Amino acid sequence: MTRTSDSRRVGRGAGARLIPLAALAVALVLAACGQKSGVHLASDSGAGGAGQTGGAGGGAAGSGGPGPGAGVVNGAAAGGAAGAGVDVGVVGSSAGAGAEGNGASGSGARAAGATAAGGGGGTAVAGDSTGVTNDTIAIGIHAPATGAGAPAPSFDQGKDKYFNFIGPTVNGRAIKVFFEDDGYNPSQAVAACKKLVQVDHVFLLGGGGGTDQIVACAQYAASVGVPYLAEGVTESGVNTLKSYFAESMTYKTQGALLAQYIKHQGFSQVMMIRGNTQNFEDAHSGFITAARSLGLQVARDDAVPKDADAQTMGSEASLMCGSLDARTGKVAVYPLMSPKLFINLAGAAAGQQCFPRYAGIGITLGLNVVAQALCPTGAFKNGASFFSPFQGLDVVDQVDPDFHKAYPNGDDIGFGLWGAEKLLAAHLKAAGRDLTRQGFVAAALGKSFNTGVYPVADFTHGHFGGTAVHVLRADCGRNQYVTEAQNARSF
């Protein structure tokens, strides 16, 4: 097998806090991939900016010099946003064009006063700096701490580790985090986000680990002019939102990459079993199309209820295992569902002496809590690999040695939160000291952020920043996932 990957094991630190924050929470609670009905909104894709990334690795070219790890590749759009005080490192620049209709042109709107939508005749007006004080920036995170499983102690323990570690270094400010449980329900998620905006007065919102909840809150945030960040999930329903940023590859783009991965693993047959939500449809269609274009035979393509019980998943396992090739590991199965459903599916299959090769996208099925639940059943006898925006614990000390200094007993969820926070901090630093919501959006568009944990997040072409994946492989000798590849862009 050949695999193309830009494998970097960089250990640096300056960066961000953010979405998968919640994604990890959901992961821990085995909530996952997020599925609730009634929030999907089909929409046309927005036009992207044209700027392209220039320069490579390491050197700083802006005032403030590079911090201990997070790099900002300066592209087009937010003129001056990477100016004084941005200590995340500027590692190249290019002239690119303006930013997706956000009111920022190629010459850019400064973070200190981006042109507001509706400002007559292009007159610059003071931006909205709600949630920003002289010393702090308030951010709001929503995640399903209840409603899909047990409470998430790892989330509570890890959510502030990175920001506490870096202190008031985000252009002289500390980050203050507000958290709300979204109950794994889109309506409750919107209520949670409204509370964060209207009562806690946060500067921005972040969410993850529940696709339907992310879509619902992202649409609400856009309606009130609040920036919203999340790990990549669906594209439909969020692709025209001008203040939304996906920090990792979307499910649709990961699906095309997954089809390559499965083929290069030597498989000729695939099955896809997914939760039945409209917000998984672009992931589903993207994967099936990519698989067939590569000559893979789609042996099964099923949808199960989003909230299926163990008996239903046992029945689905029987259908999946009706194929002798699936029973003997000659078929790759792509599960797109919550960890709870996947554990029931794979566990039931193992009980029937059926051991397909599992392969899927991230985040939640690649968490160690899933390996700990399934390895003892033998479900991963023929292997399991999942994409992830963060590496496994086996390479943490090479990727970012500061993590264990700050969090000696931190688990993979804690590391995912750490990586997400580094990326958010890089976003905030790039927007400068004179921070406004409009300036934050303008500053991100036209830039790429390299923080060492997440693959490069590139917003030079629009709001979907994911560029690559890490690949995690189940190691049942250790009951955890280990890092198979880093920064893979093709296979």
340, 218: one domain: no
Position 160 pLDDT exceeds 80: yes
Model pLDDT, residue 58: 34
346, 403: one domain: no
Position 159 pLDDT exceeds 70: yes
CB neighbourhood size of 295 (10 A): 8
User: In this structure, which amino acid lies at residue 188?
Assistant: Q
CB under 8 Å to 156, separation ≥6 — which residues? none
232, 278: one domain: no
**Per-residue model confidence as pLDDT tens digits over 16-26:** 333 344 344 33
The SS3 assignment for 467 reads coil
Evaluated on CA atoms 411, 413, 416, 418, the torsion sign reads negative
User: Is this prediction's pTM over 0.95?
Assistant: no
239, 261: one domain: no
pLDDT mean over 439-448? 96
**Residue 114 sits in which domain range?**
1-249+391-466
* Structural domain includes residue 65: yes
Evaluated on CA atoms 129, 133, 136, 140, the torsion sign reads negative
288, 212: one domain: no
Task: Give the integer Cα–Cα distance in Å for 109 and 79.
Answer: 6
Task: Give the integer Cα–Cα distance in Å for 219 and 71.
Answer: 30
Nearest residue to 386 (alpha-carbon basis) of 20, 33, 9: 33
Model pLDDT, residue 126: 59
pLDDT: which is higher, 160 or 129: 129
> Is residue 370 within 8 Å of 362, Cβ to Cβ?
no
238, 162: one domain: yes
* Structural domain includes residue 135: yes
* Structural domain includes residue 39: yes
Q: What is the CATH number of the domain that holds 266?
A: 3.40.50.2300
Model pLDDT, residue 338: 87
Report residue 78 as tokens.
Answer: 């937010």
400, 380: one domain: no
* Structural domain includes residue 241: yes
* Structural domain includes residue 283: yes
328, 268: one domain: yes
Model pLDDT, residue 362: 79
pLDDT mean over 30-54? 38
> Is residue 451 within 8 Å of 16, Cβ to Cβ?
yes
Could you tell me what percent of the chain has a pLDDT over 90? 65
pLDDT mean over 192-216? 92
Alpha-carbon 154 to chain mean position:
18
**Per-residue model confidence as pLDDT tens digits over 343-400:** 999 999 999 999 999 999 978 899 999 999 999 999 999 999 999 999 999 999 999 9
159, 97: one domain: yes
Q: Which of 388, 404, 422 marks a domain boundary?
A: 388
Q: Which of 354, 388, 422 marks a domain boundary?
A: 388
Q: Which of 388, 421, 449 marks a domain boundary?
A: 388
CB neighbourhood size of 118 (10 A): 7
pLDDT: which is higher, 40 or 117: 40
* Structural domain includes residue 472: no
Model pLDDT, residue 152: 62
142, 261: one domain: no
302, 381: one domain: yes
